[in-house]
Structure 1
Amino acid sequence: MIKPAGPDALFTIRDLAETFDVTARTLRYYEQKGLLTPTRRGATRLYTAADRARLALILRGKRVGFTLDEIKEMLDLEQLDQRGTAHLENSLARFRVRIADLKRQREDIEDSIAELEAGCAWMEDRLANREPPEDIKRRARAFELLAAARLTPWTGAAPE
């Protein structure tokens, strides 16, 4: 569970990496992509509570399948339109599209699971019923008797 922080709190890259279970390299990459903008004190990156909240949104967006570019666009639009509704309408439309995509993927996964389960049932049935059908057994016995009758003149043995 992520602990809340005061508005004036500052965090190092290590603090955020440990808190959110990501690597420092990931945070530097997000900075390179313009998703995070820490201040610097010498070579040390310092993240604000706003950066921390933004990271939580970035990770949530990634978890539900948005690309980093899509996340950046939504976060940047929110920053530009803090008093308006354009960012909310844009984000809502994107969320609805993503929900529809995920529902389609879930249906595909459920169909695949059903097909695999049917295949497993078929194979389990074949393994359980390895005994050949009666007509095959009857034909095999007839073939064996015929073969034995034809081999008798060569071997001199009496048929069984």
Structure 2
Amino acid sequence: MADADNAPAVSPAAANDDNASGDHKGIKEVAAMLGVTHRTLRFYEDNGLISPQRVGSTRIYSKRDIGRMQLILRGKRLGFSLREIGEFLDLYDSDPSHIEQMEHLRGQVREKLAELRAQKAALEETMRELRQIEAEATDRIEARR
């Protein structure tokens, strides 16, 4: 799968815009636009996260489908599971005035932030240890020259 960092940012409103103007794209164009493979698009469709229209056997992606894919890729980049991403997409599809749903989303985001902070602290400690080992190795090398 491609790097989701290059996927353009998208707002929930854009993800829900079904683009009545008829601006639809085929799988090849969408895959290239998002930097993913055709298989990746089919995978997310098989998992119920996107549902492009079909003309015969050809998948046709609306602006809404592309927006949802951008949200999916962002969610994966941020470390969310497919289940969590599906829940986020359901929230975006729902009425934003439903406070309980927004509170649930906020809670999940806060949990992920706490998890990432813990990972960051662990990485920083590992980097400190590695810098110390590197410094000790450098000192020993220099002492023998």
2:62 to 48, 66, 79: 48
Is 2:32 aligned against 1:34?
no
Q: How many residues align?
A: 131
Cα contact 2:52–2:62 (8 A) shared by 1? yes
Unpaired stretches in structure 1, ≥5 consecutive residues: 132-160
Cα offsets for 1:66-122 (capped at 9, x unmatched): 011110122124324444223321111111111111111111111001000000111
Instruction: Report which structure shows greater RCO (CA 8 Å, sep ≥6).
Output: 2
Cα contact 1:40–1:46 (8 A) shared by 2? yes
Q: TM-score, normalised by structure 2?
A: 0.81
Is 2:136 aligned against 1:122?
yes
Is 2:72 aligned against 1:68?
no
**Max Rg structure:** 1
State the identity as a percent: 38
Q: CA RMSD for the aligned pairs?
A: 2.2
Q: Which moved more, 1:63-72 or 1:78-87?
A: 78-87
Which residue does 1:12 correspond to in 2?
26
After TM superposition, which residue ranges in structure 1, 4 or more long, deviate above 6 angstroms?
A: none
CA distance in 1, matches of 2:74, 2:99: 21
2:71 to 12, 34, 57: 57
Q: How do residues 80-91 of structure 1 correspond to structure 2 at under 5 angstroms?
A: 80-91=94-105
Unpaired stretches in structure 2, ≥5 consecutive residues: 1-6, 9-13
Report the AA paired with residue 36 of structure 1.
Answer: I
1:113 to 127, 131, 141: 127
